[in-house]
Amino acid sequence: MANCAVVGINWGDEGKGRMVDLLTDHFDIVVRYQGGGNAGHTVINDKGKFALHLLPSGVLRDGVVNILGNGVALDPENLLKEIDQVRANGVDITPDTLKISDRASLLMPWHRDLDELEEQRLKDKKFGSTKQGIAPFYSDKYQKKTVLAGELFYPEELKEHLRDLMEWKNLILTKVYGAKPYTEEMIDQWLHDYCEKIKPFVCDTGSLLQQASKEGKEILFEAQLGSLRDLDYGIHPYTTSSNTSAAYAPIGSGFPGVKIDEVLGIVKAYSTCVGEGPFVSEMFGKEADDLREAGHEYGAKTGRPRRVGALDLVATRYGVQVQAATQIALTKLDVLSFMDKIPVCTKYIVDGKETDQFPFPAALSHAEPVITYVDGWNCDISKIKKWGDLPKAAQDYVLYIEKEIGCPITYVSVGAERDEIILR
């Protein structure tokens, strides 16, 4: 596959972690290029069951080098907790297997505070943030008010830089939100407890990627969330604060000149959405509860019940276009096995007019779904390994989606475990 980006086509939670884990068999390096510890990528394989947040999903495959690129929100405290959890399950993580870009900005404790304080202020108009500090972090990054991981190697300059940032942050904490200010002792403690411990992992990952590429090594780029949460192309303002699209992978990974040969878009066989914002094909009541239970749709990071709905072809078509996906992995097909008839959202009606185009964000709250029902297959497909062994109705469902979204479906996932996959 040469270089490949694995990206979400919809709202996230499509099964990116599951696909990255499967594909790492063929890759030397996995890079997370955006987002932060608010991700929840669930991976189940011979090593156990893992919910990865910031760590690339390649950490579970021996021999793979994992990189946290300059585009991520690097929270030293939560990263160390996550490393400890993964290590406790018998997986070794060392500076040979995990490398942190010296150009990654550090997520500070005040970013998490500000996230929480702002959601409290917004009350019922809140965004449904995971309160990991992601939005305040990226705002600061764009204001050039963050420190880079590489600055940890320049302690004198770092101290002064942090002192200046703290002074400014304290004004906002105390005067805007009436919260407690930070002290230099608190920041020193944070440096000592967490930053010192991540230092061995920090290096110039950009040069490493360039060199690896020259040697013919293959790189997999792992995204968080999906097209509809992309800062520029998603459902504004219910997006995340970074670009979830494959086009950002070269920038956020530390290899701006890299050519991405394949973009594998992940689509779930039905739709889910965590957090607030328009979700046109949303289902409610018993129908929704049954689907949520069948798919275990609860957030890996927060435990929040996910909103569920019919597969939204309008949003998916748009997501495929945003990602410039060259192929698709359709996941969780097995979850639909309990349905006699499967609902699919084929079009929207916006202000009385039918459309198959994904509308401008502000128009989405006026959109109604047009639902069609297709035949279900009503039997367990989770043990099937070959396309030809799938019941005809399941094949027809996949082929119908493929035709509607205009992109080849090359993988069909029928279970959460590594080998529960059908290659077409």
Residues annotated as catalytic are 13, 41
Helix, strand, coil % in the chain, rounded to nearest 5:
40, 25, 35
Residues 415 and 15: beta-carbon distance below 8 Å: no
Cβ partners under 8 Å of residue 45, min gap 6: 21, 60, 417, 418
Q: Which is nearer to ligand GDP, 8 or 250 (CB)?
A: 8
Helical spans, DSSP H, in 150-255:
155-171, 184-190, 196-198, 205-214, 249-253
Nearer to Mg ion, 101 or 224 (CB): 224
Binding mask 297-326 for ligand GDP (x = CB under 6 A): ---x--------------------------
Q: Is 18 in the site for ligand GDP (CB under 6 A)?
A: yes
Distance CA 98, CA 58 (A): 10
Subset of 22-51 contacting ligand GDP (CB under 6 A)? 40-42, 44
Q: Which residue pairs, CB below 8 angstroms and at least 24 apart, start in 415-419?
A: 415/334, 415/382, 416/18, 416/42, 416/44, 417/44, 417/45, 418/18, 418/21, 418/22, 418/43, 418/44, 418/45, 418/46, 419/385
Counting every residue written for the chain, the total comes to 424
CB of 38 to ligand GDP, least distance (A): 10
252 vs 415, beta carbon nearer ligand GDP: 415
Q: Which of 362, 380, 87 is nearest to 236 (CA)?
A: 362
CB closer to Mg ion out of 13 and 82: 13
* Least separation in angstroms between CB 329 and Mg ion: 15
Q: Which does 367 bind (CB under 5 to 8 A by kind): Mg ion, ligand GDP, none?
A: none
Q: How far apart are CA 295 and CA 292, in angstroms?
A: 5
Query: What is the size of the binding site for Mg ion (CB under 5 A)?
Result: 2
Q: Which span (14-22, 243-251, 276-284, 388-396) binds ligand GDP, by CB under 6 A? A: 14-22
Per the CB < 8 A criterion, the answer to whether 111 and 140 are in contact is yes
Q: 18 touches which of ligand GDP, Mg ion, none (CB within 5 to 8 A by kind)?
A: ligand GDP
Amino acid at 27: F
Residue with Cβ nearer ligand GDP (146 or 323): 323
Closest to Mg ion by CB, 223 or 412: 223
Q: What is the distance between the alpha carbons of residues 60 and 52, in angstroms, rounded to a whole number?
A: 10
Q: Find the angle CA(17)-CA(222)-CA(364) to the nearest 5 degrees.
A: 85
Instruction: Select the binding partner of residue 8 from Mg ion, ligand GDP, none (C-beta < 5 to 8 A, by kind).
Output: ligand GDP
* Nearest distance, CB of residue 249 and ligand GDP, angstroms: 16
The answer to whether residue 40 forms part of the interface with Mg ion (CB under 5 A) is yes
Residues numbered 265 to 304 that lie near ligand GDP (CB under 6 A) are: 300
Task: Please tell me whether residue 384 adopts helix, strand or coil conformation.
Answer: coil
Q: Which does 61 bind (CB under 5 to 8 A by kind): ligand GDP, Mg ion, none?
A: none
Nearest approach in angstroms of CB 333 to ligand GDP is 6
13: contact with Mg ion by CB under 5 A: yes
CA-CA distance, 15 to 222, in Å (whole number)? 12
- Candidates 14, 75, 82, 102; binder of ligand GDP (CB under 6 A) is 14
Q: Least distance (Å) from ligand GDP to the CB of residue 422?
A: 10
Alpha helices (H) along 271-335: 285-294, 313-323
41 alpha-carbon distance from chain centroid: 7
Per-residue mark of binding to ligand GDP, 320-359 (x: CB under 6 A): -----------xx-xx------------------------
Helices (H), 66-148: 76-88, 109-122, 134-142
Q: How far apart are CA 113 and CA 94, in angstroms?
A: 30
| Partner that binds at residue 53, options Mg ion, ligand GDP, none, CB closer than 5 to 8 Å by kind | none
Total residues contacting ligand GDP by CB under 6 A comes to: 21
Binding region for ligand GDP (CB under 6 A): 8, 12-18, 40-42, 44, 300, 331-332, 334-335, 413-416
Binding region for Mg ion (CB under 5 A): 13, 40
